Amino acid sequence: MSEQRVLAVMYHYVRDRADTAEAGIRGLETAAFCRQLDRLCASLEPLTWPMLDAWHGGRGNLPHACFLLTFDDGLADHAQVVAPILEARGLRGAFFVPGWVLESGRMDSAHQIHLLQAWMGDGAFAEAVNAWLLDQRPQDDWPGKVDEAEARRIYHYESPDRAWVKYLLSHTLPINLRNQMLGALFTRHVGDPREVAGRWYLDSEAVVTLAQAGHTIGGHGFNHEPYLRLSAREQVRDFSRCASMLREILGPDLRPFSYPYGSFDDGAAWRCHEAGFAQAFTTRPGWIRRNDNVHALHRLDTIDVDAFLEQELSCPLLH
């Protein structure tokens, strides 16, 4: 018998944004999302997260090759656009939500960056970031340098300049300083962060509705920061607050986790387990196999799916 394997696919934005001020935000338009779902269904068998969890626990088998749909960041797109499309196809997904945006009603730093780039343009945004840093003169313990190779690896789908800015703000600049900068720029160039957040994210009611429809709700950190930026104590607190938030909204249950930015190591994986999350997904591409570390599961970005299927399964593109 051939080895059983699962392809977890990662999505973020799914919405038609052409001819809007948000057109520069990278994501899938609905037609492209539907085409990819059709191709996945034609090539692999769909499964739900509880099926994956049971398989890893030795409680049953799966078809030879399956796929799991996952959605990060707790975006309103997921309830307004994604859920109806999945319902029409009889599919279910795993939706990973960060706790802080649910609790605070404010914008996450990553999405502030995306909106600022869309509204201002890449060049103007980069200039504004540099001007703010020159004016503020960050503390001496910040090296002021970006690992450009790592920036290109993480943001391989972006231009070098855009990858540099994203890496600087999300992985290098001190968190408090970054938040001050983004708060000032966002209010000046986009608008009231609370008003934008109110339409940008799922709220608690939408999360409950997704769960009642048969989708899995998992954690995506509380503060949505890369775990390798946090101390061990900060990691424990963040995992714990995320788990507690989900219990408050949905009740006690086994749930998966998705590492923000795919940032983790063995220590973070252990702390994720200790916080009670049954599995955790990375951004490392590849198949999930039965003997894998369940707190370091592979996952493929939507932009890499077509090439992966063609290479792995010799599946031609659907037209």
Phi, psi for 219 (deg, rounded to 5)? -90, 150
Supply the pLDDT for residue 2. 64
% of residues, the chain, pLDDT over 70 = 95
Question: Residue holding tokens 């702390």?
Answer: 271
User: CA angle 270-265-168, nearest 5°?
Assistant: 135
- In this model, does residue 142 exceed pLDDT 80? no
Q: Which residue has the higher pLDDT, 230 or 147?
A: 230
- pLDDT computed for residue 138 by the predictor: 61
Is pLDDT at 140 greater than 60 in this prediction? no
Region of 90 (left: φ > 0; alpha: ψ -120 to 50; beta: rest) is left
Buried b (16+ CB within 10 A) or exposed e, 80-93: ebbbeebeeeebbb
Which pairing describes strands 5-11 and 300-301: parallel, antiparallel, or unpaired?
Answer: parallel
Q: What is the pLDDT of residue 222?
A: 97
What stretch of H or E contains 72? Answer: strand 65-72
Which residues are 283's β-sheet partners?
none
| Mean confidence (pLDDT) of the chain | 91
Our CA dihedral for 166, 167, 171, 177, rounded to 10 degrees, sits at: -50
CA distances from 200 to 104, 194, 216 (A): 13, 10, 20
Distance set, CA 177 to CA 168, 183, 228, 268 (Å): 12, 10, 18, 24
Residue 65 and residue 54: Cα distance in Å, rounded? 16
- Would you say domain 5-105+201-313 falls under CATH 3.20.20.370? yes
Q: Give the model's pLDDT for residue 317.
A: 54
Side chain identity, residue 215? H
Burial of 62 from C-beta contacts in 10 A (0-12 / 13-18 / 19+): middle
pLDDT at 315: 55
Partners of 258 in the β-ladder: 281
112/172: higher pLDDT: 112
- Write the CA distances from 248 to 102, 177, 245, integer angstroms: 12, 31, 5
- What lies within 8 Å, CB to CB, of 16 at 6+ separation is 29, 30
pLDDT for 210 equals 98
Reported residue count of the chain is: 319
Q: What is the pTM of this model?
A: 0.93
Candidate from 84-88, 152-156, 296-300 with smallest mean pLDDT: 152-156
**Residue pLDDT, tens place only, 238-297:** 999 999 999 999 999 999 999 999 999 999 999 999 999 999 999 999 999 999 999 999
| Banded pLDDT at 188 (limits 50, 70, 90) | very high
For the record, the structure tokens of 146 come out as: 């970006």
Percentage, residues of the chain above pLDDT 90: 71
Looking at residue 171, its pLDDT comes to 86
Query: Is the pLDDT score of 206 beyond 90?
Result: yes
User: What are the tens digits of pLDDT across the range 37-61?
Assistant: 999 999 999 999 999 999 999 998 8
Task: List the domain boundaries for the chain.
Answer: 5-105+201-313, 109-196
What band does 319 get if pLDDT is binned at 50, 70 and 90?
A: very low
Q: Is the pLDDT of residue 1 over 50?
A: no
18, 191, 168: which is closest to 120 by C-alpha? 191
Mean pLDDT within 27-41: 95
- Say if CB 102 and CB 241 are below 8 A apart: no
